[in-house]
Structure formats: structure tokens, C-alpha cells
Chain A
């Protein structure tokens, strides 16, 4: 008897969950198609037109492994096991992307620091020249 009460409720909850999940997915697709979600940093660093290997491989493995996982789950009708080597592959790919970003950020920071030091040294030299010019004894006419 209780099952008779719960079955319609389960149907309603399932329908609501499906509408929410697929609605969210469709809205993301529409936003990408309209350009509201920018793809500038998909395979290249923003502001440059050179592709990034670490970004590209991260994208590739995410689609390949994610798609295959979804396909096998549908075929089996349940969640399937993910081998440690596949998890390692995803981890190495993601770790390489993070390390690559770290190296790049450190390089940019070092360049900015060095440029600031050069600018400071130039400003100091100019100031010293100005002080020396003021202090220099004037030649008698």
C-alpha cells in the first residue's frame, strides 16, 4: 500500500530532476553557441594566438575519458569502475597544466620585477645626474 503512494512521487521527482539537469545542459550549450561563454582560453592563453599544449591535452583527455565513461555507464546501466592508470593519466594531464601555468606566471613575474629594477636604476641615475648638475661649481665668466 505505501508503494502506491510513493510511486507517483518518485515519478514527479524523477521528471523534475531530468528537466533541471537537461535544462541546465541546454542553457550552457545555448550560451556557448551565442558567444556568451567565451572560448578564448580553450586551447590558447588569453590574449595570444599560440596554442598551449597543456591546455590542449587536458581538453582532449577530458572529452575522451568523459565520453567513454558516459557511454559505458549507459551500456551497463550502472556506474563503472575507473582503473588507477586512467585516473593517473587525468591527474598527470591536469598537474602538467597547473605546473605549466605556474612556470608561465613565475616567468611573467620575474620579467616584471626585472623591468621594474631597470626602470628604478634609470630613475636613480637621472636623479643623481640632476643633483650633480646642481652641485657642480659654476664657471666664472
Chain B
């Protein structure tokens, strides 16, 4: 057994730790995931309480598309590009759309925060 074998143990140990962390966090937070259902409804400030919130919904859509595109790139890199020396890249156009979506979300949040003030 040489030092290289130790590094393999450490690498797969860390991978196992990450998988275990995801599973334990998912299990411990199982009661809290229900809160995600109300992620895209309004908080009642300036909008009807419980109504669909367009600002939140557009960020949810941008987030879903970004994660889906990146996961597709990741699967392609892992299974079809063996020995890749870099992480998969994200299209610059998608990054720009995601940034704009974040700006819109933060503007909406700031606006609602002002309308909440008495």
C-alpha cells in the first residue's frame, strides 16, 4: 500500500460524505421541503395574498432552466468526455438571462419591502 492508495481512499471517502450529506439534509429537512410549494405565491404586499407572483415565478423558471442546462452539460462531460480537464462551461447568454432574472427578483423584493413599510 502506497501514498497513492491513501489519496484514492480520501477521494472516494469525500464523495461518499457528500452523498451522505445530501441524503441526511434531505431526511432531516423533510418537514421543511413543504415550504417550497409556496415559493411562487405572493406574500401579500401589493399583491393579493396567495396569488401567483410573477417576479418569483420568472426567477424559478430561470433557475430551473439554468440548473437543467448545467446538469445536461455535466452528464455529457461525465459520461462522454473522459479525462476532461475543466468543469463544463455555461453559455454566456444563459448567464446573462440568469443575471437579469436575479436583478428583476431583487428589484421586486425591494419594491415590496417599501410598500410593506407603514
Contact = CB atoms under 8 A, between A and B. Distances in A.
Interface of A: 10-11, 14-15, 17-18, 21-22, 25-26, 28-29, 32-33, 35, 39-40, 42-44, 49-51, 53-54, 56-57, 60-61, 63-77, 80-83, 85-86, 88-89, 92, 96, 99-100, 103-104, 106-107, 110-111, 114-115, 118
Contacts of B9: 18
A68 B28 contact: no
Q: Is the interface of B mostly helix, strand, loop or mixed?
A: helix
Contact of A39 (B29, B35, B99): B29
Contact of A10 (B3, B21, B60): B3
A91 B66 CA distance: 14
Contact of A86 (B22, B90, B106, B116): B90
A80 B17 contact: no
A50 B6 contact: no
- Residue of B9, B15, B35, B43 contacting most chain A CB atoms (<10 Å): B35
Interface in B10-62: 10-15, 17-18, 20-22, 24-25, 27-29, 32-33, 35-36, 38-39, 43, 56, 59-60
A38 B106 CA distance: 27
B74 A68 contact: yes
B106 A96 contact: yes
B89 to A, nearest CB: 4
A33 B27 CA distance: 8
A42 B25 contact: yes
B6 A11 contact: yes
Interface of B: 1-3, 6-7, 9-15, 17-18, 20-22, 24-25, 27-29, 32-33, 35-36, 38-39, 43, 56, 59-60, 63, 66-67, 70-71, 74, 77-78, 82-92, 95, 98-99, 102, 105-106, 109-110, 113-114, 116-118
Given A11-B6, A72-B78, A118-B118, A32 B24 contact: yes
Contacts of A21: 10, 13-14
Contact of A51 (B17, B39, B63, B91): B39
A22 B84 CA distance: 27
Contacts of A33: 24, 27-28
